[in-house]
Structure 1
Amino acid sequence: MIEKSKSNMSVFDLNGVPPLGKAIPLGLQHVLAMIVGNVTPAIIIAGVVGLNTNDRTLLVQCGMFIAGIATLLQLYPIGKIGSGLPIIMGVSFAYVPSLIAIGSQYGISGIFGAQLIGGIAAIIVGIFIKPIRKYFPPLVAGTVVFTIGLSLYPIAINYIAGGMGAPNYGAFINWGIAMITLAVVLFCNQFSKGYIKLASILVGIIVGYIISIIFRIVDFTPVKEAAWFAIPKPLYFGIEFYPSAIITMVIMYIVNSVQAVGDLSATTVGGMGREVTDKELSGGIIGNGFCSLIASLLGGLPTATYSQNVGIVAMTKVISKFILALAAGFLLVGAFIPKFGAIMTTIPQCVLGGATITVFGMITMTGIQLIIQDELSGRNITIVGLAVALGIGVTQVPQSLALFPNWVMMVFGSSAVIISTVVVFVLNLILPKKTLADEQNEREEMELKE
C-alpha cells in the first residue's frame, strides 16, 4: 500500500497526483513555455483585421480560455474526444499566415467561419485515423516531428534577439540575458538533482526575469491596462463562410492533424518510452477539431498541440496529468482575470528564447529517435532528406513561390511542416519498399553480372 501511495504521488506517473508544492511550479513552467505563443497570434490577427483595444484584449482572453479547455479535454477525455495524454493545447502559430490572408480579405468573421469547417475536417480525420495510420509509420511521423523542431529554431532565435519588431532587436543586452538564462537552464538540468533539475526551465526564466527587471527592460504597462475580469462572448465577432477561405483552412487542419500525429508520437516516445495507440491518436485529433470548432463560436483562434511543451515532457519525463491540468487552470484563471495573463506576457522574449531553445532541440532529437525506428536504407534516407530539404528550403526562400497563385503561398509558402509532411507522405507511398537487405542483394547481383 505504501508503494502504491508513493507511485500515485509521482510526477513520472501519468495518473500521479504530486503535492501542490511540487506540482504548481512544474505546471507554471508549461504555461511560461507557451504563453507568448498562445497570445501573440491573437495580437497579430487583431492588427490585421483592425480590432480596437477592447476587442483585441477579448480575442487574447478567448485564446487563453480555449487553450485551458482544450488542454483539460486532452488530459481527461469525454467519450472519444481527447487523447488522455500529457499534452498542452493552445492557439497555433502554424495557422497565422493563412489567418492573415483570410482576415485581410474577409475579416475576422471569415476566419471563424473557415475555422468552424476546418474543425469538422479534423474531427473526420480523427475518426478515420486508425485505417489510415499505416500510412504514417515512424519514418513519416518522425520526419514531421524533426521538421517541427527545425522550424522552431528561427522562433527561438528571434525571441533571443528580443522579438521581431522590437526597437532593440538584436541588442547585446537581449543576447546577454538569453545566454545567462540558457546557462542557468543547462546548469540546473545537467548538474543539479531532484526538483531543481525537473524545474530547470522555470528556474532559468525566473533568473532571466529578475535580471531583466534590474536592467529595466520589463514593461509593466500591459498589467496596468488589463481589466480585472472578463468573460468570453459567444459569436461576438460574427461568423461568415467563404469557399476559398474554407478550402485553405480545411487543408491546414488536415496537415495539422498529421502534425498532431507527430506531437502525440513524440510525447509517448520521448516521455513514456512507447508508441502512441490508435485510440490516443484518434481522440487527440478529434479533440483538437472539436475544440477549434467550439473556439470559432466563442471567439478563439485555431488550436493545436504545442510542440515546445511536448519537448518539456520529453526532456523532463514529467508526465503527470495533474501537473498539466494545473497549467490549464492557470490559463483559465488568466482568461477570466486578464491582469494574471498580462503579468506572464511581461516576461521579455529574450528570456523565453534562452529558456526554450533547449526544448526545441529536444523536439528535433525526438524526431530522429522516431526516424531511426525504421531502417536507414537508401530509400528511407532519400525520403527524409528530400522532405526536410524542400520543407526548410522553400520556407527560407518564400519568394520562390511568388509567381504561383496566392493560395499556394498561403498554404505552402510559410510552413516547412506542411511541405515536409506532403513530401514524406507521398514519397513513402510511391517509392518501392526496399530494406537494407534488399539493397545489399542488389549490389551483390550487380557484382555477379559484372
Structure 2
Amino acid sequence: MVPLPQMFAYGLQHVLAMYAGAVAVPIIIAQAMHLPIEDLIRLITADLFTCGIATLLQTLGFGYIGGRIPLIQGVTFASVGPMIMIGTQHDMPTIYGAIIVAGLFTFLVAPFFSRLIRLFPPVVTGTIITIIGINLLPVAVNWMGGGIGNPEFGSITNIALGVATFVIVVLTYRFGKGFIGNLAILIGLILGTVIAMFVGITNFDEVGKAQWISVVQPFYFGLPVFDVASIISMIIVMLVVMVETTGDSIAVGEIVDKKIGQKELAAVLRADGLSTMIGGVLNSFPYTAFAQNVGLIAVTRVKSRFVVAMSGIILIVLGLFPKLAAIVASIPNAVLGGAGIAMFGMICASGIRSLGKVRFDNNYNLMLVAISIGVSMIPLAAPHFYDQFPSGAQIICKSGITAGSIMAVILNMLFNGFGYKTVNEGNAAARKYRHFTRFKGYPKHFYQ
C-alpha cells in the first residue's frame, strides 16, 4: 500500500497506457455494425465502466475469484472477428448472449484449466513473456507513426513527437529520483501531449461534444439471444483468452516475485469469466489481462496491486463521466507510441531475464525457444498468411501470442515431458549422477 496521492498518479499512468487498446474494440464493433454515434459513446463508456469492475475483481478479489495480483483488465482483441461475424449474421443481443455463456464456461472450467500450470516450466514462461513483448512492439511502432489508417501516418511530425516522448521517458527514468522516476511513463505522456498541442496535433473537439454524466444501462440493446453456433465460436475465443491470461499471469508473477500456482491461476481465470459475464450484461465485451501494463509494472518497479486497483476506480469514473474519458482519448497516438516502445521492450527484457535462469546445455530448450518465437512472428511478418484457414483456426493462428504460447507448451511436452521436474533435473545421465553421489554419501552441496 502506497500513499493515496502516489497511488492515484501510478494508477492514472496505467490507465493512460491501456486506454487506446480499451476503446479500440468498441469503435471497431460500432463501425462494423453501423451503429449511430450515440451508441458508440454508450459502448465506450460501458466498456470503461466494466474494465474498472473487472480490474477490481482481479486485483482485490473475493473468495476464490481474482488472482490478487496487479493485472489490469481490458477487452480482448481475439473476440473482435467472431463478434463481427455474429453481429453481421444476427444482431447485438446475439453477441451478448454468446458472451454471457462463454463467460460462464470460463468460470466453470477455470479449476480444470488451471491444472495445466504444470505445463509452464521456466523455459516455457520465459519464452511466452518474450513473445508477448515481441508481439506488442509493432503496436507501439504503429502508434508512433500516427496510428493505422491515419493519412499522416509516418510523417516527420508524428515520428518526431514519438521520439520526443520516448526521450522524455528515458531521461525521467534515468535522472528522476524515487516517486518521479517511477512516473516516467505518465510524465512522458503528459509532456508529449503538451508538445503535440503546440504543433497542432492534439484535438479536443470531442471533449466539448461529450456528455458530463452517463449511466450504464444493462441490456441496452435488448435481452440476450442464445444461438448455439455463436456460443461455440465465443467459447473458442475464451479458450484462447485463457492461454493468454495464463502467460500474462505468470509474467506478472515473475515481475512481482509471486508464485502463480494452480490455485492462483484458477482464481485469475474465474475473474476473467465473471468479468466477461458482467460485460455481456452491461453491453460490453470479453475481458482478459492487458499485456501492455505488464511492461509498465516492470518499468516503474511499482508492484502494488492496490495501485492497479486504483486504475480500476479511475476507469469506473471515466465510464460514468464521458467528458473525462474524452480528455484521455485526446492523447495522440504518436505520444502513446513513444511510451509504448519502452513499456513493450521491457516485457521482452523480462522474458530474456527469465530465460537466463534456464539450462540450455545437453537438452532441447534452445530449439524450443527458437521455434516458438519463430511461429509467433508469422502473423507479424505476414498478416494475411492465415487468411485461407477456417475461421476457428484463424482465431488461434492470427494471434502471435497465442500461437507461440501453444507451440512452446507442445514442444516442452515433446522435448522435456510433463511438468517442472523433468525440465529442471535435466537429462537422464545427470539424474543418474546425482543419484550416485547421494548413494556414495557425498555432502548435499556437492551434487547441487
TM-score (norm: length of structure 2): 0.89
Distance 1:21 1:213, change over 3 A: same
The residue aligned with 1:402 is 387
Contact persistence 1:142–1:367 (CA under 8 A): yes
For residues 190-246 of structure 1, give each alpha carbon's deviation from its aligned partner in whole angstroms, at most 9, with x where no partner exists: 222111110000111111010000011111121111111111111112322333332
Match of 1:69 among 44, 53, 57: 53
For residues 384-414 of structure 1, give each alpha carbon's deviation from its aligned partner in whole angstroms, at most 9, with x where no partner exists: 22122122214532433333323323x1342
Say whether residues 1:89 and 2:78 are aligned partners: no
Distance 1:56 1:117, change over 3 A: same
Structure 1 unmatched runs, 5+: 1-15, 442-450
Cα distance in 2, alignment partners of residues 171 and 335 from structure 1? 33
**CA drift at 1:21:** 2.7
Cα distance in 2, alignment partners of residues 74 and 259 from structure 1? 15
Match of 1:186 among 161, 170, 181: 170
The residue aligned with 1:205 is 189
Cα distance in 2, alignment partners of residues 203 and 430 from structure 1? 47
The residue aligned with 1:312 is 296
Cα distance in 1, alignment partners of residues 31 and 128 from structure 2? 31
Percent same amino acid at aligned positions? 34
Distance 1:214 1:106, change over 3 A: same
The residue aligned with 1:230 is 214
Distance 1:341 1:164, change over 3 A: same
The residue aligned with 1:7 is none
The residue aligned with 1:423 is 407
Say whether residues 1:134 and 2:118 are aligned partners: yes
The residue aligned with 1:438 is 427
| Counterpart secondary structure, 2:216 | coil
Letter in 1 for 2:249: L
**CA drift at 1:440:** 8.2
The residue aligned with 1:51 is 35
Match of 2:87 among 85, 88, 103: 103
Say whether residues 1:17 and 2:6 are aligned partners: no
The residue aligned with 2:250 is 265
Letter in 2 for 1:425: V
The residue aligned with 1:216 is 200
| Counterpart secondary structure, 2:288 | strand
**CA drift at 1:47:** 0.4
What is the 5 A alignment of 1:245-284? 245-270=230-255, 272-284=256-268
Letter in 2 for 1:359: M
Distance 1:146 1:415, change over 3 A: same
Paired residues in the alignment total 423
| Counterpart secondary structure, 1:290 | helix
For residues 26-50 of structure 1, give each alpha carbon's deviation from its aligned partner in whole angstroms, at most 9, with x where no partner exists: 1111110011111111111110111
Letter in 1 for 2:125: A
Cα distance in 2, alignment partners of residues 168 and 432 from structure 1? 50
Cα distance in 1, alignment partners of residues 91 and 400 from structure 2? 26
Cα distance in 1, alignment partners of residues 321 and 396 from structure 2? 37
RMSD between aligned residues: 2.1
The residue aligned with 1:144 is 128
The residue aligned with 2:229 is 244
Contact persistence 2:73–2:288 (CA under 8 A): yes
The residue aligned with 1:41 is 25
The residue aligned with 1:293 is 277
4+ aligned runs moved over 4 Å, structure 1: 432-437
Distance 1:417 1:121, change over 3 A: farther
Structure 1 window deviating more from structure 2 (247-256 vs 156-165): it is: 247-256
**CA drift at 1:278:** 3.0
The residue aligned with 1:13 is none
**CA drift at 1:279:** 2.8
Distance 1:168 1:439, change over 3 A: farther
| Counterpart secondary structure, 1:90 | strand
The residue aligned with 2:377 is 392
The residue aligned with 2:153 is 169
Contact persistence 1:159–1:353 (CA under 8 A): yes
The residue aligned with 1:326 is 310
Letter in 2 for 1:122: T
**CA drift at 1:252:** 1.9
Contact persistence 1:160–1:350 (CA under 8 A): yes
Structure 2 unmatched runs, 5+: 431-448
| Counterpart secondary structure, 1:104 | helix
Cα distance in 2, alignment partners of residues 43 and 301 from structure 1? 12
The residue aligned with 1:359 is 343
Contact persistence 1:27–1:324 (CA under 8 A): yes
**CA drift at 1:99:** 2.8
**CA drift at 1:439:** 8.7
Distance 1:399 1:89, change over 3 A: closer
